[in-house]
Amino acid sequence: MKRYLALIPNILSMLRLGLACLFPFCPEELWVWLILGSGASDFLDGWCARRWKVASWQGGLLDAVADKMFMLVALTTFAMTGRFAVWWIPAVIARDLTVAIAAGYAALNHSWDSFRNMEARWSGKLATAGQFILLLTVVLFPGAIPVALLATILCSVFAARDYGRLFYQALRQRKSRVETRL
């Protein structure tokens, strides 16, 4: 039974990937429902995995990819339709860019374990919540975009700093372990 339960969080993440693929092609009237569905699947996949004790590194990676894909597609769609400036996107996804750079660095320098063992942080969850609130603001309350954008950027930059610091510490600990063995 546990094997089947383990599929549910991954199915929810795959659903989010599907919503990302649909987003640019759906009528604007459905955007709010796609955003709410994506946010709900993001919450539920993590909740189910923790509740049923079926969390895995691969499932966490799928969840993260689905989050980033949905966010990037939605923000790009907003930019292409004139609701959002393209140059805002890097600031909104600063945390995601930092994590991607850390993953690339870890892979290139054979220190993948330093990256792989990093846990999700509350700062990252706050940044993700801010991003979803920003998406809803763009669709439902366009007049409030500047306030939501500023709050989201601050959360994203804070999370980027937090994850960057955590990765740097993991690299230093790895280096100390290697030096101790020599």
Q: Among the three residues 83, 99, 126, which one is the final residue of a domain in this structure?
A: 83
pLDDT digits (tens, 9 = 90+) for 116-142: 666 778 999 999 999 999 999 999 999
Residues 13 and 36 in one domain: yes
Last residue of a domain, one of 32, 55, 83: 83
- Taking 80 as the threshold, does the pLDDT of residue 175 lie above it? no
Domain with 20, as residue range(s), is 1-83
Residues 6+ apart with CB under 8 A from 37: 15, 19
Residue-level pLDDT at 182: 64
Query: What pTM was computed for the model?
Result: 0.89
Average pLDDT over residues 163-178: 82
The CA radius of gyration of the chain, in Å to the nearest whole number, is 18
Domain match, 111 and 49 both = no
Residues 67, 125 share a domain:
no
Which tens digit of pLDDT belongs to each residue from 16-30?
A: 999 999 999 999 999
Co-location of 94 and 182 in the same domain? yes
Same domain, 178 and 93: yes
How many structural domains is the chain composed of? Answer: 2
